[in-house]
Structure 1
């Protein structure tokens, strides 16, 4: 079977598995639900708290950086659970008899959610209508944020023994990935301590972009830290399959 044919078969199987699982079926729709919640919910909330002299608009970059991080993360969850099912069924091991190398199969599994996360972010972020960004900045930031999709999938595979354990791991991952949000309220350079968690760099880059500041250094550090973690997790997973 050719590489293209195998990818087509895997894609068809993935769609069938997603439709069959109620949890996985609604997860792909969650970015759109978040988009409408942000677009209509935040202004309504601002109108309410504005009566008490509070200004939520000051925190719109914080809200939207979290939004940009969560969109590809949700897509990564779907792929992560599919990979957990495949590991239980030993699907990837069975595919080792095909001419397509195992790293290439995993590359497909990880590049697809990354591409999808990137495209969905490009679509949903402007629709949310909160803290808009120029297209150039949106493109770059969505690209960095999209790495969260394969990272989430691989982290689920690393720490979860099966799909049931995956839900507990998912709660832990969401907490850890959102911890850098607290750095928004730290004015000193101490906030860079949060950089030990790779999601910080994408959040920080958007905060700087929203304020019209340069984020080139932060962006570069984000690519390096996320890229290293992605390579490490991919190497570890492939090692367990051999």
Structure 2
């Protein structure tokens, strides 16, 4: 794999994002969401007769988990655009080029999403910043983002379909708040969803929850990987 070629493909993608209104608007979306949650929830907490403070942890978990989701949708739209234009096939014409393409469309964006997620949590947090839980939760969320990119790009055949599929990704994220609302062991029925393990780890950080999140996400990536690669090379 060539780092130079990977970076070149990544930069080409950035230019496409800048030119596309929908993808470009998704870039600052986590910041807008952060402002909303950071200032609206405390204001409501001061006005309402019941306390919202116990739910601040969930608010921060939403920031950590949703930030990579926006990046994932951008990547999926970019892949679909390139598929429509035929440039995706060109970038992934050989096994070596395919690895560069995947690194540019999945690895580098998810590394960006990891850093973005940590930054959003640090700036807009309502609960204390604990480095290990935040880093672990953001890492799991970035992996979930890769799953979402593959899922949207595998199901949709074009960007119009991609928009419809992206709207359904909210269902995929329903596992995130389960630990706050459902007691164990019933909550583990949601364990098939990678987003559940992001929420579970952020709710009560533990190596076993992190490991479970890695395992479940790896299974999803393995299942979707073959489908995704066939679609990319089509």
Q: Same fold (TM over 0.5)?
A: yes
Q: Is the counterpart of residue 95 in structure 1 residue 91 in structure 2? A: yes
Equivalent residue number for residue 231 of structure 1:
222
Equivalent residue number for residue 17 of structure 1:
16
Selected match of 1:201 from 187, 197, 207: 197
Equivalent residue number for residue 57 of structure 2:
61
Higher Cα radius of gyration = 1
What are the equivalent positions in structure 2 for 1:105-116 lying under 5 Å apart? 105-116=101-112
Q: Secondary structure of the residue that 1:101 maps to in structure 2?
A: helix
Whole-Å Cα distance in 2 between the matches of residues 169 and 16 of structure 1?
24
Root-mean-square deviation (CA), in Å? Answer: 1.9
Q: Secondary structure of the residue that 2:89 maps to in structure 1?
A: helix
What are the equivalent positions in structure 2 for 1:92-241 lying under 5 Å apart? 92-97=88-93, 100-209=96-205, 215-240=206-231, 241=233
Residue pair 1:180, 1:194 contacting (<8 A) in 2 also: no
Unaligned runs of 5+ in 1: 210-214
Residue pair 1:39, 1:127 contacting (<8 A) in 2 also: no
Counting matched residue pairs gives 233
Whole-Å Cα distance in 2 between the matches of residues 22 and 115 of structure 1?
23
- 1:180 Cα deviation after fit: 4.4
Residue pair 2:178, 2:196 contacting (<8 A) in 1 also: no
Whole-Å Cα distance in 2 between the matches of residues 78 and 222 of structure 1?
23
Equivalent residue number for residue 47 of structure 1:
46
| 1:191-214 deviation digits (Å, cap 9, x = unpaired) | 1001111110010111113xxxxx
Q: Secondary structure of the residue that 2:204 maps to in structure 1?
A: helix
Unaligned runs of 5+ in 2: none
Whole-Å Cα distance in 1 between the matches of residues 95 and 220 of structure 2?
28
Whole-Å Cα distance in 2 between the matches of residues 84 and 101 of structure 1?
18
Q: Secondary structure of the residue that 2:183 maps to in structure 1?
A: coil
| 1:41-66 deviation digits (Å, cap 9, x = unpaired) | 111111111xx2x1101111222212
Whole-Å Cα distance in 2 between the matches of residues 57 and 173 of structure 1?
28
What are the equivalent positions in structure 2 for 1:30-45 lying under 5 Å apart? 30-45=29-44
The 3 A distance-change label for structure 1 pair 97 and 189 is: closer
Whole-Å Cα distance in 2 between the matches of residues 155 and 100 of structure 1?
23
- 1:179 Cα deviation after fit: 4.4
Q: Secondary structure of the residue that 2:127 maps to in structure 1?
A: coil
Residue pair 1:79, 1:113 contacting (<8 A) in 2 also: yes
Post-superposition, which runs of at least 4 consecutive aligned residues in structure 1 deviate over 3 A? 96-101
- 1:232 Cα deviation after fit: 2.3
- 1:97 Cα deviation after fit: 4.7
Whole-Å Cα distance in 2 between the matches of residues 29 and 38 of structure 1?
15
